[in-house]
Structure 1
Amino acid sequence: MPKKRRQTKYSKPPSVAPPALRLSSPSHSTSEHHDRSVNELLANLRRSTLNSHPTAAVSSSGFSAVTTPSVPPALRQLFQLPEAPTPAPRRPQRRDPSGRRPPPGPPPPRSWVTLSQAQHAPPSSSPRDDGTHGHNRYWPMPGAYAPAEGSLVDMVLKRIALDWAQQRDWNRFYLYTLPSRLRSALLAHVSDMYSPGLSIADLQLVLLGPSEGELSEYGLEPPDVNSINSDFFCLDLTGSFGRSLSMKELHELLFGSRKTTVPAEDVVQDSWDLPAPSAGPVDLLPNLTHLSLAIDPSSTPSVSWKQLLSVAGKLTRLTELSLAYWPEPSLTPNAKLAKVTSPTTGHSVQYGGTGPYSHSLDGDWTEAILVLKRLSRLLYSLEYLDLTGCNDWVRALREKSDGEFRVDFVDWVGDWGKISALRLNSGYAITADDAPKSEVLRFSEWIEEATAVEKHIRAQRAGRGRFITVERDALSETAQAIVDSEMVINSLH
């Protein structure tokens, strides 16, 4: 017999809530709950909550301000109801600096608002100093990469520079792998902020990496100097040069006897009988264009113009150079006070080219002009020259020396005809309120000498070279008043 099929009957769920979920009381029926509106049910719920927790409702200002109904004062006293709490103050509307309402939503992060310039904007041209009176200041070279002040990259590089004693050991296998512009900025921070100064070992670690013995110990290949430093353009040694880093060490590092590997497949020999090509020396920074050799005069630096001339012959691609706070140009600076006796006449003569009174009394700038002229012939591609703090000898830039057969002077049309920016700032911050009168007058003389150099260069070029801008200091109103009064007094006498 066929099986009987039983059809399952589905029952519709009841529309009435179970007794456990009802908000009813014994005096109310189910039909009454269906007749109530949503507002009545919410009002009943608020009333029951207030009755069950009267203290909490009164103490909570945010909840009671919304749920407690307003009652006239007469009825409140009659029924002895508690005072209604004051409503919470409304949140003030956000306004931008111009007074307009910003778009809805959360406010922008503070970093978006406080950044004064874009991430890739050029660095500020403001000098670096600590704000103290008379402290030497440095200006960054134009075109050199520097992270934005206060950015994440800037804070990380400064932290690494301050902890350089640990960082150069912990990260010695990673520093040379950084991009060239970050390594350039890191060296500038370490040279300026690390108190012992940047050493030749630190410079070699960042530019060349660890030694081959350390790399082979961990199974690492030595880096290719031509590839990792091909886009390294700026070397800033401000503050460390002449103190913890000498010109001789820098010369050995940049133009030492390093060998570069020559791939066999890339070399085409003219004859089978010729010997295989050997590896020759390679420059460490072949495309270096920005070099800062600014020194710290407060640390008795040791620099040599003679060594600078020997290195300058191999840096013909330099376009920006900083020689801030360098002493007067001289090939024998230690013989300034030395004298020798002439075997023919028997009289004592000056041993060096510059004596103690050559500039002040005799007006003799022969040796300084000779050194600067040789430097200009070697660095003929310069477009920017920083001589901050060299105000005592900048007169040599416009003077002439009469020799036996010719007249020597710095050629601003041929040799240094490409220079369009010359910085002749004093490098010292003075305020006329607390500065002595003699210091203000000396500051004024430096400004006048920088102005005279600018007029001399423009007159020498006379439209044949690039237009030059000489950056110099400016006197405040109070300092100018002191200078004017001194001029009036001198005119009366």
Structure 2
Amino acid sequence: MPKKRHQPKYSKPPSVASASLSLSSPRQSTSEHHDRSVNELLANLRRSTLSSQPVQASSSFSAATAPSVPPALRQILRLPEPPAPVSRRPQRRDPNGRRPPPGPPPPRSWVALSQSPHATPSSLQHDGTHSHIRYWSMPGVYAPTEGSLVDLIIRRIAFDWAQQRDWNRFYLYTLPSRLRSALLAHVSEIYSQGMSLMDLRLVLSGPSEDELGEYGLEPPDVNTLNSDFFYLDLKGSLGRSLTVKELHELLFGPRNAIVPADIIVQDSWDAPAPTAGPAELLPNLTHLSLAIDPGSTLSVSWKQLLSLAGKLTQLTQLSLAGWPEPSLTPNAKFAKVTSPTTGRSVQYSGTGPYSHVLDGDWTEAILILKRLSRVLYSLEYLDLTGCGDWTRALREDSDGEFRMDFVDWAGDWGKVTTLRLNSGYGLADNSSNAEILRFSDWIDEAIAVEKHIRAQRAGRGRWITVERDTLSETAQAIVEREKLARFHLVD
């Protein structure tokens, strides 16, 4: 059977409110609701809304909607002055004076993670009193992408290193080797106190055996743990919170380490050769940065560096940025002794206060660099940033007892393809002429070293690139003017 179709009783919904809504509204007659149209209800609602606003809001509303009148006509008609517009909210500015993007400011935690307490390399300038130099990263060293999650986490750990080294002391040495090398580089540069010997031992080998045994943990195998650890960046910490001697003892153990008696005599010729003393902490280390801050209170020792370099023959990249002139007795530069045979006073140190300036004697520096080149014969990259005062020793020669001493760039350091001789500073707009001339002398010396190395190799070694600074047009004009003035003064 066909379905029954019910016709609706009304063609549109009733305009009367439901019974539940009529309880809260004032009681009015049903006929009054039906007599009012929708337009009348809306008009009544507008009147009630405008009458309920305060006087100030109504006046501002009327002033905003009232047409403007020219000032001359307003004086003739004696109309009152219109109210002043409401002042806008002051614009937000960042510390550099620029307008930030629209929207609410970022949380403080985001800003704290993105800002670094140390100056970036591009902003470091030398104004005569600033002692910090610019550090260049060694090529090929792993570094997390700036602004990435790994970079933010490592920086956060470096900022709170005083707490992190205690809270996470049982987890830091379990990180991958490339993350540990990046962490050491950030802590050395960011942490105010620098990387200490205990911190370095904690990251590379973990806590002590007694502390691990207290929690039932076995000490890690150093050879397996650091087999893929290739980069060690200690820039800024060496000479401040860490010495070369401490680094030597950490990597290779103390010199007076007692060899156990049971490994002296071998039971069989087929047995592997025993290793005397403790195992090397970083057996495959190839990149080492020993850059220092020239303004640090502690000093570094070339004698200790030669002792350490003798056991790091596999190094391919080395940074000695900021190191002083090569000398085995730097503290005795001004000391003199009396000869028992002649009775005359002679210089105690190999380098005196006037050896380089007046005498042109670079004998001690050449001998030290020559010894360093003989043990580090695998070097391919050498960074001597901030060493412009003694880079002349790289191209000079001296008469020894029966031979000529010089740095052999064709044999010992014939593999070096990149030599960085930057000054580490930047000239400011208000730099004096003396600073500009000294800056120019460093550049000229770097050019002379590059020509000397290429002439010494003469096709026998690899092609070398010497990184150096450049002068602006204004600074170059000042240098030429000063040189011309000196030339006329000599004539």
Determine if the alignment matches structure 1 residue 461 to structure 2 residue 451. Answer: no
How far, CA to CA, are the matches of 1:277 and 1:389 in structure 2? 43
Say if 2:162 is the partner of 1:172.
no
Deviations 1:280-300 (A, max 9, x none): 621100110110101111123
Aligned counterparts, 1:106-125, within 5 A: none
Q: Does structure 1 conserve the Cα–Cα contact (< 8 Å) formed by 2:253 and 2:277?
A: no
Moved over 4 A (4+): 11-19, 48-59, 128-132, 268-272, 274-280
For 2:145, what is the secondary structure of its paired residue?
Answer: coil
Q: Which has the higher mean CA deviation after the structures are superposed, 363-372 or 297-306?
A: 297-306
Q: CA deviation at 1:24?
A: 6.0
Counterpart code for 2:182: A
Alpha-carbon distance, 1:127 to partner: 3.5
Contact 1:295/1:301, CA 8 A, preserved across alignment: no
Percent of aligned positions with the same letter in both sequences? 71
* Unaligned residue ranges in structure 2 (runs of 5+): 17-36, 49-119, 259-265
Q: 1:450 aligns with which of 446, 449, 452?
A: 446
The Cα shift of 1:428 comes to 1.2
* Residues in 1 aligned to 2:203 and 2:196: alpha-carbon distance in whole angstroms: 11
Describe the shift of the 1:346–1:50 C-alpha distance in structure 2 as closer, same or farther (beyond 3 A): farther
Going from structure 1 to structure 2, the CA distance change for 1:56 and 1:200 (only over 3 Å counts) comes to farther
Check conservation: 1:128, 1:138, Cα contact below 8 A. no
Within 5 A, what are the aligned runs for 1:291-310? 291-310=288-307
Match of 2:356, SS state, is coil
Tell me whether 1:207 sits opposite 2:204 in the alignment: yes
Q: Deviations over 1:4-36 (max 9, x none)?
A: xxxxx9x958576798x962689xxxxxxxxxx
Is 2:151 aligned against 1:154? yes
Please report the RMSD computed on the Cα atoms of aligned residues, expressed in angstroms. Answer: 3.2
Which of the residues 163, 166, 169 maps onto 2:160?
163
Cα deviation, 1:191-212, whole Å, max 9, x if unaligned, reads 1111111100000010111111
Q: Is the 8 A contact 1:384 1:422 kept in 2?
A: yes
* Conserved? CA contact 2:362–2:396, under 8 Å: yes
Cα distance change on mapping 1:24 and 1:173 into 2, 3 Å = same
How far apart are residue 275 of structure 1 and its match?
A: 12
**Secondary structure at 1:359's aligned position in 2?**
helix
Question: For 2:235, what is the secondary structure of its paired residue?
Answer: coil
Task: Answer yes or no: is 1:325 the counterpart of 2:322.
Answer: yes
Residue 478 of structure 1 corresponds to which residue in structure 2? 474
Cα deviation 1:313-360 (Å, max 9, x = unaligned): 100111110001101101111111111111111111111111111100
Query: Are positions 1:386 and 2:376 aligned together?
Result: no
Report Cα offsets for 1:192-238 as digits up to 9, x if no partner: 11111110000001011111112111121211211221111110110
- Kept in 1, the 8 Å contact 2:125–2:425? The answer is no
Q: 1:191 aligns with which of 176, 188, 210?
A: 188
Q: Distance in 2 between matches of 1:13 and 1:228?
A: 86
309-318 or 127-136: which moved more?
127-136
**Aligned to 1:453, what secondary structure does the other structure show?**
helix
Q: Aligned pair count?
A: 388
SS at match of 1:325: coil
Q: How does 1:89-488 map to 2 (within 5 A)?
A: 127=121, 129-130=123-124, 133=127, 134=130, 135-256=132-253, 270=268, 281-431=278-428, 433-488=429-484
Shift in alpha-carbon separation, 1:17–1:298, aligned structure 2, 3 A:
farther
Equivalent-residue separation in structure 2 for 1:128 and 1:174 (angstroms): 34
TM-score by length of 1: 0.73
Q: Which amino acid aligns with 1:456?
A: H
Provide closer, same or farther for how the CA distance between residues 52 and 382 of structure 1 changes in structure 2, counting only shifts above 3 A: farther
Does the 8 Å CA contact 1:129/1:138 hold for their aligned counterparts? no
SS of the equivalent of 2:137 reads coil
Give the TM-score, by structure 2 length.
0.73
Measured in 1, the distance between the counterparts of 2:306 and 2:410 equals: 21
- Structure 1 gaps of 5+ residues are 1-8, 27-47, 60-125, 260-267
Closer, same or farther in 2 for the Cα pair 1:25/1:275, shift >3 Å? closer
The one-letter code matched in structure 2 to 1:376 is S
Name the SS of the counterpart of 1:310 in structure 2.
Answer: helix
> Could you tell me whether the CA contact under 8 Å between 2:125 and 2:427 is conserved in 1?
no
Contact 1:324 1:390 in 2 (8 A): yes
Shift of residue 387 of structure 1? Answer: 0.4
